[in-house]
Amino acid sequence: SGGDVEDIIGALFARDYKGLLEFTRMNCDLSLAFRRFRRPEMAALNGTVAGAGAVIATACDIRIAADSAKIAYLFTKVGLSGADMGAAWLLPRIIGFGRATELLMTGDFIDAAEAHRIGLYHRVVPSAQLAAEARAFAERLARGPSEALAVTKDALNREAAMDLTAALEAEAEAQARCMLHPNFREAYEAFRAKRDARFS
């Protein structure tokens, strides 16, 4: 909104380089906090998602959107680098280098159908169903094995910077730790008893 532009963007012109770097690092810290948080995070996207909001959604593990949603990384349209808040690291890992290059360089909006087609959105649902769909998916994750989900998220974050040998060793160690967690025993006992597992 206009108020946001004045309060946030307009205030930046009073800062020197050091002050601007403090601001941009604070924004980057937000993306880092999303990636380091041990629980799965989900963005439910409705309407227009642009700039920092687009990057925050991209930093989430799961993105479910209304069919009316549109998204843009529009930094270059206002004279800023398209590489902001981790966008140039996150987006290529989700949709590929070529598509990420186009979106970050042009700042163009894409609609929900296109975002789903290229893999940015996991699911697209009618606008009226977004809240229910997002809630159901969040509840499904919340009922899941918390430690196993945390270890999986950590592996997805760390292994992108590893070679295959290091990634396999990291996965072997992570799986052995998960096998010691009570959730693994609970899944086994639930299977034997023909009931649903009750994970912590």
Q: Are 137 and 40 in contact (CB under 8 A)?
A: no
pLDDT category of residue 16 using cuts at 50, 70 and 90: very high
Please state, in angstroms and as integers, the Cα–Cα distance from residue 192 to each residue in 47, 147, 187, 188, 198, following that order: 46, 22, 9, 6, 13
Q: What is the pLDDT of residues 153-199, one digit of tens each?
A: 999 999 988 989 998 999 999 999 998 999 999 999 999 999 999 99
User: Angle CA(39)–CA(63)–CA(120) in degrees, nearest 5?
Assistant: 125
pLDDT digits (tens, 9 = 90+) for 34-47: 999 999 999 999 99
pLDDT of residue 2: 37
| C-alpha pair distances (Å), 63 with each of 2, 4, 49, 130 | 27, 25, 12, 11
Which of 71, 38, 76 has its CA nearest to residue 55?
Answer: 71
- Structure tokens that stand for 152 in this block: 């999986």
Higher pLDDT, 156 or 8: 156
Q: What is the pLDDT of residues 68-104, one digit of tens each?
A: 999 999 999 989 999 999 999 999 999 999 999 999 9
- Contacts (Cβ under 8 Å, ≥6 apart) of 9: none
pLDDT at residue 3 is higher than 70: no
Average per-residue pLDDT for the chain:
93
Specify which of 3-12, 22-31, 123-132, 165-174 reaches the highest per-range mean pLDDT. Answer: 123-132
Beta strands in the chain (DSSP E): 42-45, 48-50, 62-66, 70-72, 110-111, 123-125
Tell me the domains of the chain and their CATH numbers.
Answer: 2-142 (3.90.226.10), 145-193 (1.10.12)
Report the Cα–Cα distance between both ends of the chain, in Å, rounded.
42
pLDDT of residue 184: 92
Quote the pLDDT of residue 160. Answer: 85
Give mean pLDDT, residues 47-53: 95
Query: Distance (Å, rounded) from C-alpha 63 to C-alpha 58?
Result: 8
What tokens were used for 6? 């004045």
d(Cα 40, Cα 62) in Å, to the nearest integer?
A: 8
